């Protein structure tokens, strides 16, 4: 499988080249186009309970699509819901923690599970987070561009919780205030995540929560007299 990402970083499109009979697993609604010989299989991968966990706890779709190439191979193009970037993460037996809504696609050798863990709570994602493990390509998306940073053993790095996309399971994480009480309440930053190496982290340059916070005041309010 070859994945070529075009039009980065604002309106990325992933062009996936599939070998004969090869397939790629995608989140619902991710497909933009595909060649005529490609067929789709839609199912609750892993069974009802596992799919419910991904949907209700991990923020992913209950049903996922598997795009399967024919005897001549094929092409599938993918894009996320929000304008932004995508990146391919190669998994070689290790686990990657993916924030809610950032998973887009993966090869057959990548397993997806929803983890209820302290790391999810400390990363600002509630009680659960999506864990991708195994071997193969993992495609994640962002709102805005993606900044990849590799932390050395013992290195610490601070990230606003709404800007995290994914991080290696080897990375430790804890939530803390951005500063003193005044800064926490008045700076507009709130809580941040302190990440502790070693491992890779992926950060999105824009915040979906900030976008929502900007949009809501622009919506006309219904008059009480109408």
Entry pTM: 0.82
* Gyration radius (Cα) of the chain, Å: 19
For residues 79 and 6, is the Cβ–Cβ distance under 8 A? no
DSSP string covering 132-171, please? Answer: EEEEEEEEEE-SB-EEEEEEPTT-EEEEEGGGEEEEETTS
For residues 28 and 122, the model is more confident at: 28
Return the H-helix or E-strand segment holding 5: strand 2-6
Cα separation, 65 vs 145, in Å, equals 26
Per-residue pLDDT band for 118 (boundaries 50, 70, 90) equals: low
- Average pLDDT value for the chain: 84
pLDDT reported for residue 183: 47
- Both tokens assigned to 105: 């696609």
Alpha-carbon distance of 84 to 211, in angstroms, equals 13
Convert the pLDDT of each residue in 50-103 to its tens digit: 545 545 444 555 578 999 999 999 999 999 999 999 999 999 999 999 998 899
- Find out whether 87 and 202 touch, Cβ atoms under 8 Å: yes
- Tens digit of each residue's pLDDT (9 = 90 or more) over 190-219: 678 899 999 999 999 998 888 888 888 888
Q: Report how far residue 38's alpha carbon sits from residue 21's, in angstroms, rounded to the nearest whole number.
A: 9
pLDDT at residue 117, rounded to an integer: 56
Neighbours of 127 (CB within 10 A): 12
Please report which confidence band the pLDDT of residue 43 belongs to, taking 50, 70 and 90 as the band edges: confident
Predicted local distance difference test score (pLDDT) of residue 185: 45
CATH number attached to the domain at 2-206: 3.60.160.10
200 within 8 A of 150, measured Cβ to Cβ = yes
Task: Give the list of residues 6+ apart from residue 90 with CB closer than 8 angstroms, or none.
Answer: 136, 137, 138
């Amino acid at each position: 499988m070859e994945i070529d990402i075009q039009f980065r970083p604002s309106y990325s499109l992933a062009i996936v080249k599939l070998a004969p009979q090869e397939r790629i697993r995608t989140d619902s609604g991710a497909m933009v186009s595909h060649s005529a010989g490609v067929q789709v299989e839609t199912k609750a991968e892993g069974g009802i309970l596992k799919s419910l966990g991904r949907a209700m706890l991990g923020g992913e779709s209950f049903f996922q699509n598997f795009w399967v190439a024919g005897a001549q191979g094929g092409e599938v193009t993918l894009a996320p819901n929000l304008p932004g970037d995508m990146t391919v993460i190669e998994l070689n037996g290790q686990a990657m923690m993916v924030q809610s809504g950032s998973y887009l696609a993966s090869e057959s050798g990548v397993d997806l599970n929803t983890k209820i863990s302290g790391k999810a709570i400390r990363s600002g994602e509630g009680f659960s987070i999506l864990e991708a493990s195994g071997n193969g390509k993992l495609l994640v998306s962002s709102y805005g561009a993606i900044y990849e940073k590799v932390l050395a053993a013992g290195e610490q790095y601070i990230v606003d919780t709404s800007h995290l996309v994914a991080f290696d399971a080897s990375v430790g994480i804890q939530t803390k205030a951005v500063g003193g009480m005044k800064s926490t309440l008045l700076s507009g930053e709130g809580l941040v995540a302190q990440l502790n190496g070693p491992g890779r982290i992926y950060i999105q340059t824009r915040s979906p929560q900030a976008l929502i916070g900007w949009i809501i005041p622009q919506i006309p309010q219904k008059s009480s007299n109408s």
